[in-house]
Every structure is written in C-alpha cells, then in structure tokens.
A = this chain, B = another copy of it.
Amino acid sequence: MTDTAAALDTAVALDAADALGAHVGRFVESDEVISYLDGNSLGRPLKVTAEKMVSFIRSDWGSRLIRSWDEQWMELPLALGDRIGALTLGAAAGQTVVADSTTVMLYKLIRAAVAARPGRTEILLDDDNFPTDRFLVDGIARECGLSLRWIAVDKTAGVTADQVRASVSEKTALVLLSHVSYRSGYLADMPGITRIIHDAGALVLWDLCHSAGVIPTELDAWHVDIAVGCTYKYLNGGPGSPAYGYVASALQSELEQPIWGWMGASDVFGMTDAYVPATGMRRFISGTPPVVGMLAMRDMLDLIEEAGMPAIRAKSFALTDYAIALIEELLVPLGVTISTPIAHEFRGSHVTISHPSFRQVNEALWAQNIIPDFRNPDGIRLGLSPLSTTFAEVLIGIEAIRAALTR
C-alpha cells in the first residue's frame, strides 16, 4: 500500500467516524468538483434549498403575492436575525437584524457608533483588517472629521489584548476588529478585548464575517456592543446574501444610523412627513428587505440547529488539526509556511499557507476541480466548513498542492 493510499484510507475512516459526516450528503452534489475548500468564501447550497425556492416562487411570491409582506416578509429581517442570534451568537431576541450587504451594514453601524460618542475623535482598528473595513473607516473618518489609529499586527497572527490596551484611550470612540482574521485565520480574544475597550469608555464593533455560523460566540454575556456578520460563507445564504447586524439592547436607542428609509421608520406605512426611527432593531433597516436573498440561509440554520454549534466547532477543530498535520508533513518540507495559529484558542475555521508559487498553484488546482482560495500576494486559504467539508477533501486538496509544488 502506498503512502497516499494509506493516507486516503485514514481520511475515509475519519469521515466514516465523524458524527456530522452524514450531513454532507444534504448539500448539492457537484458533478465536477473533487475537493471544495472555499467554504469561507462561498458556502455550498443545501439540496432542500432548491425545492424550497420553487415553493417560494410559486406560493409565497406567485400566489400570496403582496399579502406575503404582511404575512411573513415584514418580520423576516428580525425573525431571521433572532434565529441567527439564538443559534450562533449567544444573543437574546430583539438584537439582530438581517439587511443590506455587509459593507452597507458596517457603514451604518460604524456611523451610528461614532455619533454616539461625541467628543471622542478616534476610530481604532488593526492594519490587517479586511479591506472593506479599512476603506469604510477611511471614508467615514474623512466625512465625520475623525482620525484613525492603526494597530500594527503580525500578518501571520492577529490583534492581541495587549495591543488593544496599549492603543485604546479616552480619545477612542469606536474600536473595529475582526473576530477571525480573513488572512491568517487568527481568532481574537473577544471577551478579553471587549473588556479592555469598555474600560476606556469606547464602543466595540466586532466583524464576524469569518466566524459567523462556525465559531460560537456569547455576545450578550461578553457585553459586546455591536457586531456585523456575513451570511454567504458558513451560513450558506448564497452569493451576496445580506449581512446581519447585532446591537446590544441597552445601546439601541442611543444609535441612529444615517440611511433613513421608510422601512426603518416608526410608522412604515404612515407616509408621514418626518422620519422618526423605529424602536428596537427595526431602526437599523433602511430599504425594502432583500427577501429572495434571505431564503437559503434558513435551510442552513435548520441544519445548524440540528447539529448544534458545539459539534460544529469540534468538527472545525478536527478538520483544521488534520489539515495542519498534513501540511506539516507534506508541504512544510517543500518551503510552505503556515500562517494559521496552532493553538486551538486562537484558531478560526480556515487554514492559510504561503508559498511564492501559490498563485500558479491555485490556478492549476482550479483547473483540476480542486477549489481552495487564493489571497494576494502568496496565500492559499483552505476554508473548512464543518457541515459540508470531508476529511477526504482536505487530503485531496493538500496532496494536489504537494503534487503541483513538486512538478
């Protein structure tokens, strides 16, 4: 038996023993993809989503028509938000809403947050935050007359509590940090860092894009102020599905977002003269809810409820442990470096590795229907989605990288 065949036996055995393994068959099967390792960019659809979409088009939209707004769609942003909050965020009802793109939701909540801390002149963030986050605060700082303070982080890790403590001050209005670094996969200490920020009297906004649906949080217990997450990665909402925003109950009435539309007004159908924001989370809605884009994530939430976040997190560790062990064995000897933290407490659900030739390697892999993600300048990210990724896929992907590097 060759090494490769033995390794495949091991992977297959791991899949067979996996408590969540049976769920893999519930996702749409591709007739071409051999290994999909990009669940952190776009989660796969569930089979049931296709059936439900047809039923939605024929019944909810095609037959109930405009009445569906009264019957279900008006409440959907809040009902879906509550469900995400309960299942994945540790958030009591009435604090989470689904709306807009992640970028627009971040813009609205950042603007609302800095306006709620008048006299404080700084937004604090790290210099390896996702481009959108960095771009947004640059624009907001200019329009609101604020300055930006940057924490320089180790690009193979992420922001630490000590770094935040050294930078937050009585000038800080808002701290904007990512829970999991999009680049390294580093998991920040959300409760510890949140305490430090609050000790300085500032607000915190956690960007949950790379942890939403895969890493359980306790937003209420950790006294998080604001959070924004993405639903097309591990929540499998489909390409460009809308964001969710969380605002702690105690803070909601203090925050006013700047994009005033009828759906966020106190009296939606009153057609009143002046805008009065709704109470509660509805005030963070601007336009008509993007209903069609909100449907698929419901099916994934059903599956998350069935599987449970603790089991999902355990499988995420098992997959990333397995990937890291294989990388150390097969790729590190070829000059590949690992950016992702080895310690569980700092690890998200993707593993990032680097090598000067990875741009070409990634192209070669895609051509073979093995799909990881390339990130400038030399990173390959393996996004491991606990409910749909198999151990065999991880092995196939890493073996293919080795083959490409040794060709």
A29, A100, A131: residue with the most chain B Cβ atoms closer than 10 Å: A131
Contact: B45 with A61, CB < 8 Å? Answer: yes
Q: Is the C-beta of A296 less than 8 angstroms from some C-beta in chain B?
A: yes
Assembly of this chain: how many copies? 2
A350 interface residue (CB < 8 Å to B): no
Contact A375 B242 (CB under 8 A): no
Name the residue of chain B whose CB is nearest to the CB of A257. Answer: B139
Tell me whether A163 is interfacial, beta carbon within 8 Å: no
Judge whether A239 is part of the interface by a CB distance below 8 angstroms: yes
CB atoms of A50 and B54 under 8 A apart = yes
CB interface residues, A 202-222, toward B, < 8 Å: none
Q: Is A244 an interface residue (CB 8 A)?
A: no
- Residues from chain B with a CB closer than 8 A to the CB of A294 are 240
**CB of A292 within 8 A of chain B?**
yes
Residue A393 at the chain B interface, CB threshold 8 Å: no
- The answer to whether A376 has its CB under 8 Å from any CB of chain B is yes
Contact string against B for A residues 359-401, beta-carbon threshold 8 Å, 1 for contact and 0 otherwise: 0000000100001010110000000000000000000000000
Inter-subunit contact B41/A66 (CB<8 Å): yes
| Contact present for B107 and A73 (CB under 8 Å) | no
Q: Report if A68 contacts B (CB, 8 A).
A: yes
Determine whether the beta carbon of B131 is less than 8 Å from that of A265.
yes
Asked if B54 and A38 sit within 8 Å, CB to CB, the answer is no
Quick check: which of A88-96, A116-124, A281-289, A336-344 contacts chain B, the rest being far away?
A: A281-289
Check A131 against B49 for contact (C-beta < 8 Å): no
Name A104's contact: one of B28, B62, B239, B259 (CB within 8 Å): B259
Given A32-B63, A65-B36, A65-B42, also A242-B290 (CB < 8 A): yes
Check if A240 sits within 8 Å of B292, measured CB to CB.
Answer: yes
Q: A286-B104, A290-B290 are contacts. A371–B262 as well, Cβ < 8 Å?
A: no
Chain B residues with Cβ below 8 Å from A100 are 100-101, 104, 287
List the B side residues contacting A366 at CB < 8 Å: 67
Please give the distance in Å from A23's CB to the nearest CB on chain B.
16
A5-39 near B? 1/0 per residue, CB < 8 Å: 00000000000000000000001111111001010
Q: Does A333 contact B (CB under 8 A)?
A: no
Contacts of A62 in B (CB 8 A): 27-30, 44-45
Closest 4 CB pairs of A and B: A101-B287, A103-B287, A28-B62, A103-B261
Besides the contacts A138-B275, A243-B287, what 6 more A-B pairs have beta carbons closer than 8 Å?
A31-B63, A32-B63, A44-B65, A101-B261, A104-B259, A134-B273
A-B contact pairs, 25 of them (CB 8 A): A27-B62, A28-B61, A42-B65, A45-B61, A50-B54, A50-B57, A50-B58, A57-B238, A66-B373, A102-B288, A103-B288, A135-B274, A136-B260, A238-B291, A239-B289, A239-B292, A240-B290, A240-B292, A240-B293, A240-B294, A243-B287, A271-B376, A292-B293, A292-B295, A292-B296
